[in-house]
Amino acid sequence: MSKRTIKENISMILRGYRLVFQILGRYMAWNIAACLCGLIAPYFSLSMSSLVINELAYSRDAKRLLWLAGVTVSGLFLLNVLNRLVSGRVNVYGSDSWRRDLLFYMQEQNRMQYDHLENPEVTLLREKIFAAKNATGGGLQVLFWMLPPLITGIGNVVCSAALTVSLFRLRVQEGYTGLVGLLNSPAAGIGILTLIILNTVVAVATVNQETCKVSKAWQELAVSNSRYRAFGQAKGQDASIFDIHRLVLREQAKYKKPSYMVKSQKIQLHYGMLRMVWDHVMTFALFVFVAARAYAGAFGIGSFVLYRGTVARFITGVSDVAEALGRLIQNNDPLSDLFRFLDLPDDQYHGGLSVEKRDDIDYEIELRDVSFRYPRSEAWALRHVSVKFKIGERLAVVGRNGSGKTTLIKLLCRLYDPTEGKILLNGIDITRYRLDEYRRLFSVVFQDYKLFSFPIAQNVSAELAYDRSKVLSCLERVGLGARIRELERGIETPLHRDYENDGIDISGGEAQKLAIARALYKDAPFIVLDEPTAALDPLAEAEIYSQFNRIMEKKTAIYISHRLSSCRFCDRILVFDGGEIIQSGTHEELLSQEDGRYRELWKAQAQYYREEEDGRPR
């Protein structure tokens, strides 16, 4: 556990609670209400019992007794009803808490500067946060679990202290000697106070020791848990073919989960017993003190019952607060990881200029002498790139792996900003525009695009309330119209059979077409396709390409491609090498350049296609 000052610990806990209230405000509010309701009932019951006993023992006024009984029963009844109502609300809002918690992490990640998502240190940090969360609820969960014992504990301390004050004020009758005679002297009060302080110290110290040791025992297990989670994601064919289960089982065997449980149980038992014994010693000492004062005539039997109850509650309160504080302090380690994640700097410049909305989608983007180095990297990924993307143009970007094609797209979409040079939208530096509005200009089909087990229409529109005719027209444009019409549930047909039996499984080519349809639905003026046809067979590829002009309509389309045959239809082809544009022109122009890289690549690939047509092995 990291060493922190008391002030640092408290400010972290408070920040954590501000966050928990921000995410689960209503749930937390109802939780507090439930704690307060639960707190009132025992004190009400204790106070009323004390009054009833005093009445029975001394005045014995039947009318007053009846009245007291009536107030006790109806009061407890009302408190019970209130308790049930409030607990109901806690359950309602609690059922949503896991989802909201997860949503919070997703939102934070989406909001984050893209660079962080590619930073391995941030990936590790995120893993650590989730490992702690899954293993022991470390982070926000613990804060939210500890709130009820903390409130109830503080409530118990305050209420019982308030009701017990008079215990020290009421004097025992004169004439007693020995120890009982000392009860009126300040020494007795100071002695009891010292015991109470000692009790607090013992509780805090044991809880601290216990949580330190338990968390150490769990830390290693957290690593194993995160590996196990990774296995969960690797389910499916890969896991079966390569028998990943064996790897995971061996890995898990190293950690021997039960031994961790036994170890942490032992620690908890050890310290729990220590606290219990000490609590009993305290309770006994206070009981003797209260009983002696009652014996010496300081108060009646009813008050004795009250004080005995409140003193016991005071001790439990102190223990609960100490335990909750101990757990909260220990939780500051995972919490500090979470705060580090949330505090990752956003050093991308955010302009305030609105992107002009143009019906004629007349947007022009220009890269002016752009060079780029990835953060934490010495090598240039792009060097002196100057190019203009004109409206409606079909542009292909080709080149070997690592030549800078994807980096160009990342810069275009402003996932990164150039290290040198500028990118201009209609003549204005793109950093001056509002980032969200600027990004809306782009639709990208990534190489590793994801489709979800939702209905086809939702996959295409990424909306619940989608525009039916627009979905249909996008599917039609990519050539999936006939396939969809065959389906009984049409665009409402779920993809895959994960959740519904009548879902459909689609081929790689169809999936890619669906991804392109999704990009079209967004209706952005620029559409970027990263290896758009990698999963298509030659026939499907030819079908898509022959219709590309119709599919893209007036949009500016940028294709990153390995297959040069796919680029032939483009207005312009940029050939990248080592982060630089080494050639630019139409297919014919580039092919006519005798020693050009394009011609070299084309010849190599043409031979490959010829072999494929000959039916010879590839």
Question: Which residues in the 143-202 window bind ligand ADP by CB under 6 A?
Answer: none
Q: Cβ 271 to ligand ADP, closest distance in Å? A: 47
Q: CA separation (Å) from 589 to 403, 538, 570? A: 21, 25, 12
578 lies in the site for ligand ADP, by CB under 6 A: no
CB 407 to ligand ADP: min, Å: 3
Name which of residues 93 to 132 contact ligand ADP (CB under 6 A): 118
| Cα diameter, the chain | 122
Nearer to ligand ADP by Cβ, of 5 and 377: the residue is: 377
Q: Which is nearer to ligand ADP, 224 or 406 (CB)?
A: 406
For the stretch 283-322, what's the b/e string if a residue is b when 16 or more beta carbons lie within 10 angstroms of its beta carbon?
bebbeebbebbbebebbbebbbbbbbbbbbbbbbbbbbbb
Instruction: Please report, to the nearest 10 degrees, the dihedral formed by the alpha carbons of residues 417, 419, 421, 424 taken in order.
Output: 0
The DSSP output letter for 119 is: -
Which value, in Å, is the radius of gyration of the alpha carbons in the chain? 36
CB of 535 to ligand ADP, least distance (A): 17
**What are the φ/ψ torsions at residue 95 (nearest 5 degrees)?**
-65, -20
Of 428 and 534, CB closest to ligand ADP: 534
- x-or-dash string of contact with ligand ADP, 275-294, rule CB under 6 A: --------------------
Comparing CB distances to ligand ADP, the nearer of 402 and 585 is 402
Residue type, 133: K
Q: By C-beta, is 52 or 381 nearer to ligand ADP?
A: 381
Question: Which residue, 141 or 403, has its beta carbon nearer to ligand ADP?
Answer: 403
Measured CA to CA, the distance from residue 387 to residue 364 in angstroms comes to 11
Q: Tell the smallest beta-carbon distance from residue 378 to ligand ADP (Å).
A: 10
Which is nearest to 483 in space by CA: 455, 458, 504? Answer: 504
Bridge pairing between strands 442-445 and 380-389: unpaired
**Tokens representing 490?**
């049409």
Between 335 and 409, name the residue whose CB sits nearer to ligand ADP. Answer: 409
Residue matched to tokens 């180095």: 373
Task: Encode 485-510: b = buried (16+ Cβ within 10 Å), e = exposed.
Answer: eeeeebbebbbeeeeeeebbebeebb
Handedness of CA 166, 169, 175, 178 (dihedral sign): positive
Nearer to ligand ADP, 66 or 604 (CB): 604
Q: State residue 425 phi and psi, 5-degree precision.
A: -110, 120
Scanning residues 355 to 384, which ones bind ligand ADP (CB under 6 A)?
Answer: 374, 377, 381
Binding to ligand ADP (CB under 6 A) within 193-252 occurs at none
The mark string for 381-420 relative to ligand ADP (x by CB under 6 A, - otherwise) is: x-----------------x-xxxxxxx-------------
| Least Cβ distance, residue 500 to ligand ADP (angstroms) | 37
We find the least distance from the C-beta atom of residue 389 to ligand ADP, in angstroms, to be 17
CB of 380 to ligand ADP, least distance (A): 8
Residue 254 CB contacts under 8 Å (≥ 6 apart), including other chains = 224
State which residue, 93 or 374, has the beta carbon closest to ligand ADP.
374
Q: How far is the CB of 587 from ligand ADP (least distance, A)?
A: 19
Q: How far is the CB of 233 from ligand ADP (least distance, A)?
A: 21
* Total site size for ligand ADP, rule CB under 6 A: 12
Judged by the rule CB under 6 A, the positions of this chain that interact with ligand ADP are 118, 374, 377, 381, 399, 401-407
